Chains A and B, each alone.
Chain A
Amino acid sequence: MSMTPDELFKLKKEIKKAKRRHKKEDTANLGLTSLMDIVAIIVVYLLKSYASDPILIQPISEQKIPMSRMDMPIKEGIAIYISSRELIFNEEQVATLTDGELDPNVVQGHVIRPLFEKLEEETEKSKQVFEGRGEEWVGHVILIGDEALKFSTIVDLMYTAGRLEYSEYSFCIIQKG
């Protein structure tokens, strides 16, 4: 049976319609692979820079670390933070300051008593760790001070640590340039 061109055209149209009706909807997939690559690179870079710091220094509020041209990295040690308002050791406020000076009641003969007590506990622990490793203990204090910190307070801090056999001191600075 032969079909007329009109009939053939209509049939073709019907077939096309049927095909369209049964066709699944196209869903657009978001290509995440390239984004994933970028994010992975950023994470690896950040993790590496995080891991390369032997000690993590996070300045406390209202603290302006002095600037210097010194380029030596910070060695591992016990960090003491001091701003123009507070003295912080082991994330704990041990003394307060007024006009950049320590409360005279907490300083006895250049020794900052609350700091001495906290530092003594930490020193004992640190010495035990070194003893366990079979290494000689060398006390190292990192002073993260404010640029306006008075010299007399620096001397008091060094004297207090010195009483607990700390022989190495470092002043934390922000590198210029």
Chain B
Amino acid sequence: MRVRHNEELEVEEANVLPVMNIMFLLIPALLLAMEVASLAAIAVSPPKFAAAPSPKKEEEKKEEKPLKFKVFILDDGFRVTTASQQEGAEAGKEQDSTGPSIPLAKPSADASDYSRYNYDALEAKAKELKEIAKHETVVTISAENDIPMAVLINTMDAVRGSECKLLAIKEDEEIPPECLFFQPIVEAGAG
């Protein structure tokens, strides 16, 4: 059989235009549904549902005196208390409810300026307490009624530790030292 080389083979091209139209409609639809910012979540517990530690950690914790680390967010700073004595309380008194133990970093700043609190000092205090109670991970946080959510979140960040990356920790892994108090209990009217 003779093959005619000169004759070009005519290939019918698929009509991709309708598919393209659908694709171009899908792109804005998916872009709209997509997260613009990366969202995450801070797990918090109400007082009676505080996360129970693992049995191994529980045994280790028995050797330690319960810390009962509490942070009360006031309009003029943080009041930090532990089971022993409140920071800044007078000698002989367990607690001094009159003022904050960590005053504001920017006292003259407006209430809407969430950076007016001294989060660095709070983190330093949390680090100090972590040295005493290495297996403690729970912190009770309470606030005055008018305290905004952003301040509450920043406080949780400070007591958790600025270098703490919880996502990288596997279930049976030891908690790294940079993660301080990462299990917050939100309590109303504590102090």
Contact = CB atoms under 8 A, between A and B. Distances in A.
Interface in B1-32: 13, 16-17, 19-20, 23-24, 26-27, 30-31
Interface in A31-70: 32-33, 35-36, 39-40, 42-43, 46-47, 49-50, 53, 56-57, 65-70
Most buried by A among B37, B39, B73: B39
Interface string B64-96: 000000000100000000000000000000000
Interface stretch (A6-14, A17-25, A118-126, A140-148): A140-148
Interface of A: 29, 32-33, 35-36, 39-40, 42-43, 46-47, 49-50, 53, 56-57, 65-75, 100, 110, 142, 145-152, 154-155, 158-159, 162, 167-175
B35 interface: yes
A148 to B, nearest CB: 5
A11 B26 CA distance: 60
Interface residues of B, number: 49
Given A46-B30, A148-B112, A154-B149, A70 B37 contact: no
B46 interface: yes
A148 B149 contact: yes
Interface of B: 13, 16-17, 19-20, 23-24, 26-27, 30-31, 33-35, 37-46, 49, 73, 112, 114, 143-150, 152-154, 156-157, 160, 162, 164-167, 186, 188
Nearest to B162: A69
Contacts of B42: 68, 70, 72, 170-171, 173
**8 A-B pairs closest in CB distance:** A46-B30, A147-B150, A170-B41, A152-B145, A149-B149, A151-B143, A155-B188, A71-B167
Nearest to A29: B13
A43 B44 contact: no
Contact of B46 (A158, A170, A172): A158
Given A68-B153, A150-B146, 13 more contacts: A43-B26, A68-B154, A70-B40, A70-B166, A72-B40, A72-B42, A72-B43, A74-B40, A142-B41, A147-B150, A159-B188, A167-B49, A169-B46
B146 A73 contact: no
Contact of B44 (A56, A148, A169): A169
Contacts of B41: 70, 72-75, 142, 170-173
B30 A69 contact: no
15 contacts: A36-B19, A40-B23, A57-B39, A68-B40, A68-B157, A145-B149, A147-B153, A159-B188, A167-B45, A169-B186, A170-B42, A171-B41, A174-B37, A174-B40, A175-B40
